[in-house]
A and B are shown apart, each in its own frame.
Chain A
Amino acid sequence: MVTVVLRGTFIPPLFQPAWLASHGLIRAQESDAANVEIISPQAAIFTAEWLQLSVISNRLHVATTQESFYEPLRDLVVGILKILNETPLRAMGINRSFHYRLASEDAWHKIGNELAPKDMWKAHIDKPGMRSLVMEGARTDGREGYIQVKVEPEPADKIKFGVHVELNDHYQFQPTEPNPMNIKQATGILSECWKVSMERGLTIASKIADIGDQA
């Protein structure tokens, strides 16, 4: 799954499937078949086949679970920002989410043991196990923000011996207060950094899953 989250100031009722279609950002058929959950002054939430969109006054969130539509998702956000080119923005996240099913319980434990060694914990709690781990690192591309990776076991009733990896590629705009000038930063990042962000997400998530494969 890929999501793009924009923090800023938005007018939720603008974000309707028909509005996106009228600007050519999605197909007319996709707009007609969209499933609208709510369009109100406070929030707009709908799905349109490959797209999930949700917006409130200070956050726009678009997502797709379909790999074929990762780049169209990026183009959609760029398109929205080009139309709403005076929208005050202050931050953006390009996020990826991966689900892995490990071959065995041993492989599954190996990931937790490698990422969160238990020796220190065993003296204090019985049967320590990793429930969630969040690592945060600085950006190396000269931009403001950080990269955060979260690793959690999947609930057993969802995926047995499963691991969920989430990556948050966070860009903090300057100035940090919502500012229309940040639109150019956002579209620039989406155009220039998308591929790197996608590849980094896959590389990190695969590396984590590989720990289990080596069991």
Chain B
Amino acid sequence: MPEIQRLDSIPIVFSTTLDATYGLQGGFPIHDLSRPEVVRSSDGAEQTQIRYVNGESSLDEIKLNPFLFSLPSAPQAKEFFRAIQKWEGYVLDVGRDLFRARLVSIVGEGPDQEAEIYLEEVDPDDQELVQPGAVFYWTIGYLDRPSGRLRGSILRFRRLPALSEPELETARREAEKLEGLFE
């Protein structure tokens, strides 16, 4: 039996069930695991909020409570992007070097507006998403870094899975119905 020094340094492994008592078999650090306290509202409904509580340990075993759950730790931010203005944009048309879009404010003041945006502003991975009707999010703000503040913008296109054939069919029917209203 390994000598127990600190709870967070004891290696253990997953069992096939999550409510088991875990032996000291080596392989997985316990500090990656925690259990959310079961939080219930006044009417007994299960809550969708998470609070973390560790398991229990004794000299010869570690007992982790009924289920294990842990969010990956958020990276310790040395840089922080502060949004001043954020828009949801809709691509109207796409040219050779730029695209035209309607911008609706999400953060910050201002009416809807149209803008022309250079395609090179768009991340290479998002270029194929720049099509009429596509939705994107555009944030302008400050990047605060230890070495100083930078003004910058983040432009990201909406990513959704491709429509299934039944969804396409439904959309076609809906379009035909709407078209009929204008005839």
Contacts and interface: CB of A to CB of B under 8 A. Distances in A.
Interface stretch (A77-85, A108-116, A153-161, A206-214): A77-85
A146 interface: yes
Contacts of A37: 32, 72
A45 B49 contact: no
B126 A27 contact: yes
A65 interface: yes
Given A7-B46, A29-B125, A52-B74, A148 B41 contact: yes
B50 A5 contact: yes
Contacts, number: 135
A63 interface: yes
Interface string A37-76: 1101111011100001110111101010111110110011
B32 A38 contact: yes
B88 A42 contact: no
Nearest to A46: B72
Interface in A1-37: 1, 3, 5-7, 23-29, 35, 37
B154 interface: yes
B95 interface: no
A5 B159 contact: no
Interface residues of A, number: 60
Contact of A40 (B14, B45, B154): B14
Contacts of A1: 74
Q: Is the interface of B mostly helix, strand, loop or mixed?
A: loop
A172 B44 CA distance: 12
A2 B154 CA distance: 18
Interface of A: 1, 3, 5-7, 23-29, 35, 37-38, 40-43, 45-47, 52-54, 56-59, 61, 63, 65-69, 71-72, 75-76, 78-79, 82-83, 90-93, 95, 136, 145-146, 148, 150, 166, 168, 170-172, 195
Interface of B: 14, 16, 18, 28, 32, 41-43, 45-50, 67-72, 74-75, 77, 81-83, 86, 88, 106-107, 123, 125-126, 137, 139, 141, 154, 156, 158-162
